[in-house]
A and B are shown apart, each in its own frame.
Chain A
């Protein structure tokens, strides 16, 4: 169990989670503490890989690009690009958000129908008409506001 965990951790390139990335504001504690020593990704080398490891002991200039990549893949599970790529988790997050907002909407509709009583009579159209007429009679905000928009000569709203 620990061995498999060690392998997957090495695949995360332990260096990338060290202080150089995380310690922007001063590291007071070490997260991702891993007491196990780093182990290369592929532990059981095939014959080809073994001979490649021998070749690695010599001059690296003789290594072709494919061999260099093969050596990398022996030591590490993922490249930096593979390791850093984002997940598609955000889609689930957005979907969950919409779902719960929708559920909340249903709850609100139910509440409106079955919980809240009727609205006061002051919201009826006739009441509102009388209210507006009284406000105009009192000259509410006659300079720049409410009554300023009413044409008192022609008894209609200014165009």
Chain B
């Protein structure tokens, strides 16, 4: 009993036809996951931080802590 002749041609094409759509789909999923898991929350965190940010108050706090070279702490 002889076996059927195996596929001799089109092997790469067959592999690509199977694997490329999967690869594209997974890449899109990875990109979407990163966008909505990392970048969007990060953008939101920055937006929220600066919504409540009082520039002058923070500047004065930093100035009094003595980290600036251009201005000395208040009262020196």
Contacts and interface: CB of A to CB of B under 8 A. Distances in A.
Interface of A: 134, 137-139, 142-144, 152
Nearest to A144: B45
Contacts of A137: 62, 65-67
Where chain A touches its partner, the secondary structure class is: loop
B46 interface: yes
Contacts of A152: 61
Interface residues of B, dominant DSSP = helix
Nearest to A152: B61
B42 A139 contact: no
Nearest to A138: B67
B62 A142 contact: no
B2 to A, nearest CB: 17
Given A134-B67, A137-B67, A143 B45 contact: yes
Given A137-B65, A137-B67, A143 B49 contact: yes
Contacts of A144: 42, 45-46
Nearest to A137: B65
B40 interface: no
B58 interface: yes
A77 B65 CA distance: 87
Contact of A143 (B46, B61, B62, B67): B46
Interface string B29-72: 00000000000001001100100000000100110011100000
